[in-house]
Amino acid sequence: MIDVDAVTVDRGGVRALDDVSLTVPDGEFLILAGANGAGKTTLVRTFNGLVTPDSGTVRVNGTPVEADLLAARRAVGMVFQHPRDQIVAATVAADVAFGPENLGLDREAIDERVDDALEAVGLSDRRDARVDELSGGQRQRLAIAGALAMRPSHLVLDEPFTGLDAAARRSVRSRLEALHDEGTSVVVVTHDPRSVRDLADRSVVLADGEIAAVEDDDRDIDRPILGDPE
């Protein structure tokens, strides 16, 4: 479980998050929506200590993130907006193996994780391919596999559909649906929630660093967005 409690973050003189509280239970599929600059990326980066709150606390499975950064990073897998930012090796299998290798696992355990993660994203047949031979959609799925190889309880994806064509979007979408069905909590950050709304248990809308609305899967609006209904 991720528990964000009264978190405020100032970045470059801007209040990126203002007293935000949010709990992401195990197994939830959550959409984090909002316009550019609303604070979405800043919020998810507090989940694993990439951003430290100026006030408030983020707990992962009950432990404050800063008290055990490694545990938070194992529990919360992060797929960044640009997959190239997190692809580190020349081949598909080597890239997915990178995280588990740093856990000190033996070769057999690493290979098992690589196989499982590639299967989960539908890239088993590209195991030995060079990363630079992959399409944009395949690279996005490779970045997801890299995060999955750490066996996180929560998978956070920042704008996972940017730059993907319709077929690649469908493919990533169906992988996220399957992961959620298997019990992984999935958090999708997006300025365009239509692409995954039907899969989500809940949508949280951020505006100017605050939670502006929460919509659950019954489409009950908890707190309507104030202002222009358009």
Ligand X SMILES: Nc1ncnc2c1ncn2[C@@H]1O[C@H](COP(=O)(O)OP(=O)(O)OP(=O)(O)O)[C@@H](O)[C@H]1O
User: By the criterion CB under 6 A, which residues form the site for ligand X?
Assistant: 11-12, 14, 16, 34, 36-42, 191
Minimum CB separation from ligand X for residue 47, in Å?
13
Nearer to ligand X, 145 or 164 (CB): 164
User: Taking the complex as a whole, how short is the minimal distance between the CB of residue 176 and ligand X, in angstroms?
Assistant: 19
* CB-closest chain residue to ligand X: 12
Question: Judged by CB, which is closer to ligand X: 50, or 94?
Answer: 50
Q: Phi/psi of residue 157, each to 5°?
A: -125, 125
Q: How is residue 28 written in tokens?
A: 């939830």
Place of tokens 């995954």: 196
Q: Which C-beta is closer to ligand X: that of 114 or that of 164?
A: 164
- The residue type at 121: V
Cβ of residue 175: shortest distance to ligand X, in angstroms?
22
Task: Provide the minimum distance between the beta carbon of 41 and ligand X in the complex, in angstroms, as a whole number.
Answer: 3
C-beta separation of 29 from 211 below 8 A: no
**H/E/C letters for each residue in 77-112?**
EEECCCHHHHCCCCEHHHHHHHHHHCCCCCHHHHHH
Coil, helix or strand at residue 41: helix
What residues form DSSP beta bridges with 205? 33, 213
Cβ closer to ligand X: 186 or 212? 212
